[in-house]
Amino acid sequence: MVEDVTHIHREYGDDRLPPGQRKTDRFPVLSKSGTPSVDPDDAGLDVYGAVDEPLDYSLSEFKALPSVTQRQDFHCVTGWSKFDCEFTGVVFDELVERAGVHDDADHVLFHAHDGYTTNLPLSECRHEGVLLAYGFDGDPLPADHGGPLRVVTPHKYAYKGAKWVSGVEFLTDKELGYWEKRGYSDTANPWNEERYS
């Protein structure tokens, strides 16, 4: 069953297409430094930091967790949006419950195999639509788009979703990620055009 979450824009604005964005039917690839090769033995997910139970999933263990398939939109800060992407994966909250995240952990830093990082408040990670995705349109997620495993954040510009994600770190104090340190907006709300800070 495909869950339609293309309605989430209504929390922020009437228009499904955020201001200043152009709709594309392509799915462009955007990466700071190309597609890293991810060793299959190292392709799982580490969950650590301010948690009771650090988790260390292999990719197959991760794919055995309860999963969802969602239809959602994708907004890149450079100005393109792709509607109706079907991502399959695990909802972020599943990790929060399994890891026993501490009450004072308000921030998350995502780590990726290409050295990329990106940060979000924990509350924004728990928003509807945030997935750790390994499937796209019924197929395994292509490597250029972050396969085997990436994060998607349809209520934020897509730089908040780490491709080739390797770790989810829970933090009591905020740390900025790769683009956030380089002048991209920390809040990244597409309907307010929070592109640069």
Ligand X SMILES: Nc1nc2c(c(=O)[nH]1)N[C@H]1C(S)=C(S)[C@@H](COP(=O)(O)O)O[C@H]1N2
Residues that bind ligand X (CB under 6 A): 28-32, 76, 112, 114, 116, 145-146, 158-159, 161-164
Name the closest residue to Mo ion (Cβ). Answer: 76
Which of Mo ion, ligand X, none does residue 114 bind (CB under 5 to 8 Å by kind)? ligand X
User: Which residues contact residue 129 at a Cβ distance below 8 angstroms, ignoring those fewer than 6 apart?
Assistant: 5, 8, 70, 72, 152, 153, 154, 155
* Cβ nearer to ligand X, comparing 52 with 62: 62
Q: How many CB atoms lie within 10 A of CB 23?
A: 11
Which of Mo ion, ligand X, none does residue 145 bind (CB under 5 to 8 Å by kind)? ligand X
Token digits of residue 29: 């690839």
Spacing of C-alpha 33 from chain mean position = 18
Q: Are the C-beta atoms of residues 9 and 18 closer than 8 Å to each other? A: yes
- CA-to-CA distance for 28 and 25, rounded, in angstroms? 9
Closest separation between CB of residue 185 and ligand X, Å? Answer: 12
Closest separation between CB of residue 32 and ligand X, Å? Answer: 4
Closest separation between CB of residue 102 and ligand X, Å? Answer: 26
* Cβ nearer to ligand X, comparing 49 with 161: 161
Number of H helices, E strands in the chain: 4, 12
- CA-to-CA distance for 92 and 135, rounded, in angstroms? 15
* Cβ nearer to ligand X, comparing 10 with 182: 182
Residues of this chain that interact with Mo ion (CB under 5 A) are 30, 76-77, 159
Which of Mo ion, ligand X, none does residue 116 bind (CB under 5 to 8 Å by kind)? ligand X
* Cβ nearer to ligand X, comparing 127 with 156: 156
